[in-house]
Amino acid sequence: MTLRKVNISILIVAVVIFLLVIHHNFLSLSDFLRRELSDPSPLGLQPIDFIPAAPQRLADERNDQEIPVVIAASDERLGGAIAAMNSIYQNTRANVVFHIVTLNDTVDHLRMWLRSPPLKNIRYRILDFDPRVLEGKVQVDPQKADAFKPLTFARFYLPSFVPHAEKVIYVDDDVIVQDDIVELYNNPLKPGHAAAFSDDCDSTSSKVAVRGAGNQYNYIGFLDYKKETIRKLAMKANTCSFNPGVFVANLTEWKLQNITKQLEKWMALNVVEELYSKTLAGSITTPPLLIVFYKQHSSIDPMWNVRHLGSSAGKRYSPQFVEAAKLLHWNGHFKPWGRTASYAEVWEKWYVPDPAGKFNLIRRHSEAYEAK
């Protein structure tokens, strides 16, 4: 055997190995591409970042099961979402992953804030919501374009944000959680139900709040029963409404029932026929949910949505009750970061100041207020 023949054999072996390596890499690359592409993202949603590696100490202490919590974070009230997430994180031993839905120009600010020391171990994923999905489904008065809040509709699109989870929690940005969120997560859903909400009538909150509130707790407070389309649904007008600011969802059932598509149908119909009641605060997110989930939802413990803390500047609950609440919800006009909030001191315990200095609490005694 000549030297040249040996060289050729070595060369052939080398080429074969080289090809095998290339082939293998190519396979895993195509696997990878397939995985990336198979993620359904009908909204053109971009997961922007994800911090999967919690420090080992925390990972050991915290239970393995992931608890997905979806929250919408808009720039002008980012401090709300921050305080809500901090309260959830500090009060749980579970492995909570936040799916934060926001508009693209808020991403950098949010990410910077989440790097603050008290928040830096929070696991999260930022998702960019494209308001164009709402075109034709929401009537935007050009005079009041600024008042239109696309992110309030994020909750209609839950399966696009967390496509692989079966059960998820959605919370508004004006809440504080005072107990382990696992308890809310474990709230059972009846077979065939895609979500569980806190009803407005039998809740502890409404017993205090209902006085003088008119029809705010019935379907008739949200929907225009003079319209044929609404009457044809044969939903009882005095049916108790529910609060969609805190809920637990079964996304398997949500997808089976095409809940998102049903909600979009009612949004689009409202643009043409004006089906929502105009007598009250004029919520445009609650009515479609009331229709789609009419007699088709489970309940959550009222202590997991103690609400109306923002309906007036006065204090309606005793300090003992506020302390016992598992979740406090400042729905209404008086937000806990605003000037005339009630129970602001409870909320402030969970607030982490904005490192960018853009979001400031407006307090009666603060210099910011005095200067105005």
Ligand X SMILES: *[C@@H]1O[C@H](CO)[C@@H](O)[C@H](O)[C@H]1NC(C)=O
Site for ligand X, rule CB under 6 A:
104-105, 130, 166-167, 189, 250, 252-253, 257-258
- Nearest approach, Cβ of 128 to ligand X (angstroms)? 8
What does the alpha-carbon distance between residue 202 and residue 359 come to, in Å, rounded to a whole number? 36
- Nearest approach, Cβ of 250 to ligand X (angstroms)? 4
What does the alpha-carbon distance between residue 81 and residue 171 come to, in Å, rounded to a whole number? 9
Q: Give Rg (Cα) of the chain.
A: 25
Query: For ligand X, which is the closer residue by CB, 257 or 299?
Result: 257
Non-local (6+) Cβ contacts of 298 within 8 A are 187, 188, 189, 190, 193, 195, 196, 197, 248
- Nearest approach, Cβ of 313 to ligand X (angstroms)? 36
Closest to 244 in 3D by CA, of 128, 159, 134, 158: 158
Backbone angles phi, psi at 210, to 5 degrees: -70, -25
Owner of token pair 């949004």 = 267
What does the alpha-carbon distance between residue 88 and residue 279 come to, in Å, rounded to a whole number? 35
- Nearest approach, Cβ of 258 to ligand X (angstroms)? 4
Closest to 54 in 3D by CA, of 42, 62, 46: 62
Query: For ligand X, which is the closer residue by CB, 257 or 285?
Result: 257
Query: For ligand X, which is the closer residue by CB, 6 or 256?
Result: 256
Query: For ligand X, which is the closer residue by CB, 51 or 256?
Result: 256
Query: For ligand X, which is the closer residue by CB, 142 or 191?
Result: 191
- Nearest approach, Cβ of 97 to ligand X (angstroms)? 17
CA 313 vs. chain centroid, Å, equals 26
Query: For ligand X, which is the closer residue by CB, 110 or 325?
Result: 110
Query: For ligand X, which is the closer residue by CB, 132 or 144?
Result: 132
- Nearest approach, Cβ of 61 to ligand X (angstroms)? 25
- Nearest approach, Cβ of 216 to ligand X (angstroms)? 30
306 by DSSP, 3-state: which? Answer: strand
Residues in the chain, overall count: 372
Q: How many C-alpha atoms does 318 have within 13 Å on its Cβ side?
A: 4
Given the DSSP bridges, would you call strands 327-329 and 175-177 parallel, antiparallel or unpaired? antiparallel
